[in-house]
Structure 1
């Protein structure tokens, strides 16, 4: 862990992530409260904020991933932060002139930009963080994310109530500007120019198709896709209905759901800390299998439970195991994906997960009306359990070599695409 904190690249990325998380939560809470006040607590307007965040993931994730593989990740991250900062300033001006619906555009732009910056950040980890430090780096990032799940709304609410929407938006813009300035300290990718030259010879659509083929032809990535698909279906079914566990099963006020959400956040924080300390001793297969099986069981237990302590305990433990699962899967993604495909693989998997979450969330309410709350949660548990079928494929894989290394070892043997498949296919 000490070596990680001496890694300049990690320190810069961690510090900028910290600033960006603060800015995002300040913006999120400011826009939420502003829309509620302007619209008179209109649920359609509030839900539209969430929907607008998902649409860019479906539309731009694949494109953003492919472009992240083309571009220097340092420049991509800096450009994304500058664009986010500029867009928020423009939105603040529009709000000042009375165009309050511009808040939806701000949310949309921010979500679009993130589809470029996130895969670029993953590529920075792949290039500049030594393999033995990746587990610690992901664990620290996971713990920071869990902290913001707990305290982000508090910080955002405080800033909004103390200063209002305009100060909140300009504070977010300033934080992203500072983040972009700090990212200037990142080293440029040594392979950026050569990779960019090679990409210029092929079209963007061809590269997107190549990324999809890369996923399809590697069984360990197919296993992750299957796991993500089942997690998307299972979580989408129960996310909109969790409030009914509180009101119908536990007979508590709907506002009490915040405490169960907080317990899950505490669990994720504890899990991140534990995984950071134990990541080298973790049995990846056991962690993924155990987490998925526990999630499936806990969903059913929560549906059947009429005890608040039991439900709270399941939420806490689910948070711990969710942190372990995210860290193990993130480590696998970094280890098992060749550097030149990091962006496209992320861009291929993310929209699949989000699409299935949206589809299952859409049918959750009608399905509950046709059957029952317990039936829907049991169906969710079944989908989660099916996700464990892909674990063996994930764990059997070997770390890939980049295409450039393959070419050096087999310069005259076979085409680049065929070399990659034979080297990595199981």
Structure 2
């Protein structure tokens, strides 16, 4: 009989302790940076919408451009070394921005977002690769649950911390704190187990060859192909409604625009609770079923929010949508790790992320037009329909779980 994994066994894993401590420092640095830059740019530009939107461009554009490149290099380089150097280089870039900020133009704050966002596209897939190496498969879902719960917690406290630090100390100290947090993260990562010695093969491959191999690997794997399609439609759904939440508050609920902070806070609190629930049931419920259930509940809740003009009903729908979000995020990351072989983890992650981000950014850019053409209620129904399509796409995997791993055993030679 297989021994059941306990939380004590899980937290006793040296990798888990180091990666969680690193994540804590990174989250502190990122939220202080994000909100100090946001508030600083708003001050400097008299709340110019274009300047504020450029902050998001600096943060999200590198995900589009560098995710697959970073994933490819994550499979070529030693992951621990990659993560440590990415944090060190992020800290150096932040301190360079700080020096320039003191003596030159305020516009350099955008580079603090841009450079660390680029480096994170190399670090993040390396972290996923290390999860594959150092965490037993029985503990993967638990690991993703705790990781996502920490992110959800910072969605609540992060804006508060970032705002307080900026208001109390100003932009220079805020940027300096960000750099120090990145350095602390690098120190925490030093406690990770040493990288495995990579075997030297007679066949040398180029970055371009390995890049192509990653796409072939995903396309030949039915499970990952369906999951990628699911990623894309989920991105479409979330991207469409993300800019429209403010209109639910002002048009549907007839509240002041400032009420949006409470509307979003309910979602964040629900995500923390949802992360705890996902952690509790992770050993009993298969991740593909968590994904399907999470998307189905979210589709229903988004549909309700689109039609509802009743405050308590809308807030309840927002709460349950947030409650299921960790189940979606945790199950996706778990399934990537479970169904991608170690040599391909970085590239698979690098391919999947742009699918989601691409769908999200596409619909975020069209959300205003869709609202004007169809109205707010129908825009939310379109989002719900996209999520239903996502559930339909993965239903073959829900109904036929036993065969999914038969598709993944491809060698790099076969991919060439």
Q: Is 1:315 aligned to 2:321, yes or no?
A: no
Say how many residue pairs are matched: 407
Matched position secondary structure for 1:386 = helix
- Aligned residue number for residue 414 of structure 2: 417
Deviates more, 1:327-336 or 1:339-348: 327-336
- Label 1:161 to 1:58 Cα distance change in 2 as closer, same or farther (>3 A): same
- Aligned residue number for residue 37 of structure 1: 43
Q: Is 1:344 aligned to 2:350, yes or no?
A: no
Superposition deviation, residue 333 in structure 1 = 1.2
Task: Specify which of 180, 187, 203 is matched with residue 193 of structure 2.
Answer: 187
Cα deviation 1:6-25 (Å, max 9, x = unaligned) = 11111000001001100111
Q: Is the 8 A contact 1:339 1:402 kept in 2?
A: no
Q: Is the 8 A contact 1:220 1:393 kept in 2?
A: no
Matched position secondary structure for 1:101 = helix
- Aligned residue number for residue 410 of structure 1: none
Q: Is the 8 A contact 2:64 2:358 kept in 1?
A: yes
Task: Specify which of 145, 164, 167 is matched with residue 158 of structure 1.
Answer: 164
- Aligned residue number for residue 142 of structure 1: 148
Task: Specify which of 209, 213, 226 is matched with residue 223 of structure 1.
Answer: 226
Task: Specify which of 102, 116, 124 is matched with residue 130 of structure 2.
Answer: 124
Match runs of 1:309-388 below 5 Å: 309-388=312-391
TM-score calculated relative to the size of structure 1? 0.92
Q: Is the 8 A contact 2:83 2:127 kept in 1?
A: yes
Superposition deviation, residue 289 in structure 1 = 2.3
Superposition deviation, residue 98 in structure 1 = 2.8
Cα deviation 1:234-279 (Å, max 9, x = unaligned) = 1111111111111000000111111111111111101111111221
Q: Is 1:114 aligned to 2:117, yes or no?
A: no
Superposition deviation, residue 358 in structure 1 = 1.2
Superposition deviation, residue 285 in structure 1 = 4.2
Q: Is the 8 A contact 1:74 1:189 kept in 2?
A: yes
Cα deviation 1:288-346 (Å, max 9, x = unaligned) = 22222222221111011011111111111111111112212221111111001011001
Q: Is the 8 A contact 1:227 1:388 kept in 2?
A: yes
Q: In structure 1, what is the Cα distance between the partners aligned to 2:407 and 2:131? A: 16
Q: In structure 2, what is the Cα distance between the partners aligned to 1:401 and 1:387? A: 21
Cα deviation 1:129-171 (Å, max 9, x = unaligned) = 1112212111111111111000011111111111111111111
Q: In structure 2, what is the Cα distance between the partners aligned to 1:417 and 1:238? A: 41
Q: In structure 2, what is the Cα distance between the partners aligned to 1:170 and 1:377? A: 41
Unaligned 5+ segments in structure 2 are: 1-6
Q: In structure 1, what is the Cα distance between the partners aligned to 2:110 and 2:186? A: 24
Q: In structure 2, what is the Cα distance between the partners aligned to 1:401 and 1:359? A: 31
- Label 1:134 to 1:284 Cα distance change in 2 as closer, same or farther (>3 A): closer
Cα deviation 1:162-193 (Å, max 9, x = unaligned) = 11111111111111112112211212222x42
Unaligned 5+ segments in structure 1 are: 408-414, 421-426
Q: Is the 8 A contact 2:301 2:320 kept in 1?
A: no
Task: Specify which of 98, 103, 111 is matched with residue 104 of structure 2.
Answer: 98
Q: Is 1:2 aligned to 2:8, yes or no?
A: yes
Q: In structure 1, what is the Cα distance between the partners aligned to 2:331 and 2:49? A: 37
Indicate the RMSD between aligned Cα atoms, in angstroms.
Answer: 1.9
TM-score calculated relative to the size of structure 2? 0.94
Matched position secondary structure for 1:193 = coil
Match runs of 1:268-287 below 5 Å: 268-287=271-290
- Label 1:76 to 1:184 Cα distance change in 2 as closer, same or farther (>3 A): same
Superposition deviation, residue 368 in structure 1 = 1.4
Matched position secondary structure for 2:240 = helix
Q: In structure 1, what is the Cα distance between the partners aligned to 2:161 and 2:290? A: 33
